[in-house]
Amino acid sequence: MTRSDEPTRLANVIMNLFRDQSVATKQVVADEGSTVDLIAGADAQDDCAVFRMSGDQELVVGSDYVRGPKFRLYEMGHLTEYDLGYYLAAANVSDIAAMGAHPIGLLSVVRYPADMSDETFESIMQGIKDACRRFRCPNIGGDIGSAERLILSATALGTCRRGGALFRSGAKPGDLVCVTAPTGFAGAAMEYLRAQRPDPAIDELHLATLLASWRRPSARVDEGIALAACGRVTSCQDTSDGLKATVECLAAASGVGITIFEDSVPLPEPVAAVAHHLRLDPLGLVFGDSVDFELAFTAPPDAVEQLRQEMALHAIGEVTDSGSAVMLGSNGELTSLPGKAWRHVPDQAGR
């Protein structure tokens, strides 16, 4: 097992994985002729990456740290370091997708303990690279070096046409509330594997799908671009904080209410199977803190009909003029949204 120093890893791993990146092809961002060219990427090994930009456009940029090696599923042996690298890139590109932007680059921060082998380091970088290729977002540099444990953070950049970025605010009463695909997979995977009470039927039929939500998460890049191109989407956010938190955030940011129709919420079979097996509320899994990276958005009903021609989507509710997010149950009763809210850890003072 070899453990090279940082300059050697830059020379051997980074330069090998990312060679010739700085001669990227010209990317035309929008129909107004704006362009973005990467002229110095990871292989340039300079203080910064450099893009040459031309024309009117909007630059979107966001950073996400991921717990990575602190993921319970990693600690339990269900995720590899490659998976963590892949996840890091997907989670960051998802924020670009949620703004309706074309990804243009990812900066990755990968710090590692002194005893991490070159092979493990390379597998992390390969996971990042493969996810970047899938999401058409080149890894343009970042930071590598030592730390007392593996630390993963990144920044993704994207561009869209002037006025084209999708914000969380802007939902209007009468709009429909939609998601790009069913949610709850990541949360169900976590509940199922943490419980350590295997069900042969779930293992056979659903486990691969459940695990894929952690191993190969999808950033909805094409969908985000289509939503922005439509020109009538009024708000958008990814569901990485869970569907409940996302819907509540869209309502709060837009100053509107949202009514979710229980009967319209898709309940994926693997999620239903886990809920049944563990005697959990299936909608609690669908709305809870499941990190699925779908896009939740709002648009007028006729725009939603038009979008259905271009992409998969599920209309799950509508925007109202009252000030909160609620669910209209199959029984006709209004309740708050099911599931755990995002990271609302209780104040620990005095404990």
Which residues, numbered 212-231, are part of the site for a second copy (CB under 8 A)? none
In the range 98-127, which residues lie near a second copy by CB under 8 A? 98-99, 101, 105, 107-109, 111, 114-115
63 annotated to a ligand binding site: yes
CB contact burial 222-241 (16+ within 10 A = b; e otherwise): ebbbbbbbbeebbbbbbbbb
CA atoms within 13 A on the CB side of 226: 17
Give the chain's end-to-end CA distance (angstroms, integer).
45
The pairing of strands 35-40 and 102-112 is unpaired
Which residue is it, tokens 């300059």?
A: 7
Q: How far is the CB of 244 from a second copy (least distance, A)?
A: 13
Selection from 120, 66, 111, 119 nearest residue 90 by Cα: 66
214 annotated to a ligand binding site: no
| Residue in 64, 130, 199, 222 binding a second copy, rule: CB under 8 A | 64
336 annotated to a ligand binding site: no
In the three-class reduction of DSSP (H, G, I as helix; E, B as strand; rest coil), residue 139 is classed as strand
Q: Does 83 help bind a second copy (rule: CB under 8 A)?
A: no
Q: Does 143 help bind a second copy (rule: CB under 8 A)?
A: yes
In the range 155-214, which residues lie near a second copy by CB under 8 A? 155-158, 162, 165, 167-169
Contacts of 222 (CB under 8 A, 6+ apart): 311
127 annotated to a ligand binding site: no
Count Cβ atoms within 10 A of the Cβ of residue 130 and give its class: 0-12 exposed, 13-18 middle, 19 or more buried.
middle
Q: How far is the CB of 132 from a second copy (least distance, A)?
A: 15
Q: Does 253 help bind a second copy (rule: CB under 8 A)?
A: yes
The answer to whether 133 touches 37, Cβ cutoff 8 Å, is no
Smaller CB separation from a second copy, 200 or 346: 346
Q: Does 18 help bind a second copy (rule: CB under 8 A)?
A: no
| Residue in 23, 28, 53, 334 binding a second copy, rule: CB under 8 A | 53
| Residue in 58, 122, 223, 318 binding a second copy, rule: CB under 8 A | 58
Alpha carbon distance 251, 232 (integer Å) = 17
Smaller CB separation from a second copy, 261 or 342: 342
From residue 59, alpha-carbon distances to 56, 105, 126, 135, 170 in Å are 10, 11, 27, 17, 19
Contacts of 42 (CB under 8 A, 6+ apart): 14, 17, 18, 21, 49, 138, 139, 140, 141, 142
Q: Does 145 help bind a second copy (rule: CB under 8 A)?
A: yes
| Residue in 19, 72, 75, 146 binding a second copy, rule: CB under 8 A | 146
Contact region for a second copy (CB under 8 A) — 44-52, 73-81, 193-201, 274-282? 44-52
64 annotated to a ligand binding site: yes
| Residue in 46, 269, 310, 333 binding a second copy, rule: CB under 8 A | 46
Smaller CB separation from a second copy, 64 or 222: 64
Smaller CB separation from a second copy, 60 or 132: 60
Binding residues: 47, 63-64, 95, 142-143, 168, 238, 240-241, 342
